[in-house]
Amino acid sequence: MTIKTDHRHLYLQVIDRLKSDIEKGIYQENEKLPSEFELSKSLGVSRATLREALRLLEEENVIIRRHGVGTFVNPKPVFTSGIEQLSSISSMIEQAGMTPGTIFIKATEEKSTEDDVKRFQTNSDDNVITIERVRTADGEPVVYCIDKVPATYLPQQFVNNQDISLFSALEKSGAIHVNYAVTYIDPIGFHEEVSPILDCGPETALLVLKQLHYDDNDRVVLYSKNYFRADKFSFHVVRKRV
């Protein structure tokens, strides 16, 4: 059945039709779509029109095209959050009705690097703790976390008790309250170290969130570098006109 003609460009009609078919389950997650020839014929459009629609659908992460293999339906992200909200990974997982967990990898305490001194305004003799963990949802690895924090900000027992959140540990003394964060987002492809840990295939992209967390005195108290599976997480921001 061909798409219904309206006043919009044909490629927009194709996009809506394919999205509708995916929503209805005609095309399932991770399922390979018909060939370009078959799709263009069934939709009643040229292959050039179809290719433009597929290009835009790939930009929206609705589909993924694998060279020499075909076009597949991307799974919908399970977890979504407004990037303007400073919420924990655990709360995002819980909001999706899943159980958060942690696989502890390692924690190291070393002298401040040049970057640490600039970032935290510490002295070169001060120690910084680096914590590497994998966050899970119902036992499945979904986020690889690297957190750096001046050693003096964390209680001594934190490293041995991974059930405590970093925010809670930082705020335990009452001297620190995490107020806001500045976030940088970078999409990347396959990562030689992180992707295998998160059970990602070569086609699965990652979203890297680098965050500087500030306290009420505008002091950086935590630096985080988190690798999110792009097929599991999506982030959005509300922009207001000024």
| Confidence (pLDDT) at 1 | 45
Between residues 33 and 167, which one has the greater pLDDT?
33
CA dist 187 and 235 (Å) reads 12
Residues in CB range of 242: below 8 A, 6 or more apart: none
Sheet strand arrangement including 220-229: 100-111, 127-137, 140-150, 220-229, 206-215, 178-188
Confidence of residue 31 (pLDDT cuts 50, 70, 90): confident
Handedness of CA 138, 141, 144, 149 (dihedral sign): positive
> pLDDT at residue 133 above 70?
yes
| Highest averaged pLDDT of the listed ranges 2-6, 89-93, 184-188 | 184-188
Q: Which residue, 190, 230, 224, 225, is CA-closest to 207? A: 230
Pick the residue with more confidence: 8 or 209?
209
CA 178 – CA 155 distance, rounded (Å): 16
Please state the pTM of the whole predicted model. Answer: 0.71
Is there a contact between 32 and 74 (Cβ–Cβ < 8 Å)?
Answer: no
DSSP one-letter code for 109: E
